[in-house]
Amino acid sequence: METSTVLHNEEIIANKKKFSAQTVAICTMAVVIAVMAIMLLVLLTDTKTDDESSISSLLDAPLFDDNGLLAAQSDGRWGFINDKGEWVVNPQFAWVGEFTEQGLCVVRNEEQYGYIGLDGKYIINPQFETDFHFDKPHGTAVVCSGKKYGIIDSQGSYILNPTFLKLSGCYADGYRICISETDKKVRLTDENGEELVSAGFDAFEWYYSISEDDDKEICKKADCTEEIYKNGYCFTHWLLS
């Protein structure tokens, strides 16, 4: 009788332990699920907020520019229309930028870039290898010709002949960043491209001195045809290297 009672008690204790273990497991699982649900909710909320912010920021800007023009494409060519849907600049370009305060817009024909006025006529004929916009409020643009960079004014006259391997737009405080051909180091210039210091540096901002690998014309990554940015790679593959 006593043996039976002991066995019965041991069975009760074992069942309690088993029940307790199952309870702990269930509670743990419930906590994990709850945490995952909260994380998912936060993620969805943040994503929705970011999307709404992006859309809102786009809608905050006017659709038509200060000249009442909107870039439009027809049959693969770009031009500009007014708010009545009428062509102000007929669709004739492979690509168009935006009109500046000076009334200039960078455009591309099949291979080269030039600048047009509000009437769609060329003010600066296509001759450049890049699509730089005119700086505000300096009214100058960096251009590339023969793989060298210089500066032009709003009439297309050179303020600085193409001499640098790289040259930035003009910052608000009047500085530019250049890479000199002589030693391929990074330097500061004034708004007209005049070098301000003789010392060269390895990097400013996103501008890096050029290594021997950068003498190649295109990225050394297989099947990539992008221009060299740093250490023989284009910008994307440089980030990944």
Residue-wise pLDDT tens digits, 141-171: 999 999 899 999 988 999 999 999 989 888 8
Taking residues 99-107, what's their average pLDDT?
A: 88
Whole-angstrom Cα distance, residue 223 to residue 218?
A: 10
Model pLDDT, residue 139: 84
Higher model confidence: residue 193 or residue 43?
A: 193
CB 187 within 8 A of CB 180: yes
Phi, psi of 129 (to 5 degrees): -100, 0
Query: pLDDT at residue 2 above 70?
Result: no
Model pLDDT, residue 86: 96
What average pLDDT does the chain have? 78
Q: How far is CA 144 from the centre of its chain?
A: 20
Higher model confidence: residue 179 or residue 48?
A: 179
Query: pLDDT at residue 220 above 70?
Result: no
Tokens of 18: 């088993």
Whole-angstrom Cα distance, residue 153 to residue 115?
A: 11
Q: Report the relative pairing of strands 176-179 and 186-189 from DSSP bridges.
A: antiparallel
Q: How many CB atoms lie within 10 A of CB 238?
A: 17
Residue-wise pLDDT tens digits, 22-70: 665 676 676 667 667 666 665 555 544 445 555 556 677 788 888 899 9
In DSSP terms, which residues pair with 52 in a beta bridge?
Answer: none
Query: pLDDT at residue 111 above 60?
Result: yes
Model pLDDT, residue 48: 45
CB 90 within 8 A of CB 80: no
What is the model's pTM?
0.61
Query: pLDDT at residue 218 above 90?
Result: no
Instruction: Name the helix (H) or strand (E) containing 127.
Output: strand 122-128
- Of 68, 163, 218, whose CA–CA distance to 176 is shortest? 163
Model pLDDT, residue 171: 87
Comparing 35-39, 129-133, 146-150, 196-200, the range with the smallest average pLDDT is 35-39
Higher model confidence: residue 73 or residue 134?
A: 73
CB 118 within 8 A of CB 87: no
Q: Helices H, strands E: what count in the chain?
A: 2, 15
Model pLDDT, residue 47: 47
Angle subtended at Cα 81 by Cα 77 and Cα 82, rounded to the nearest 5 degrees: 175
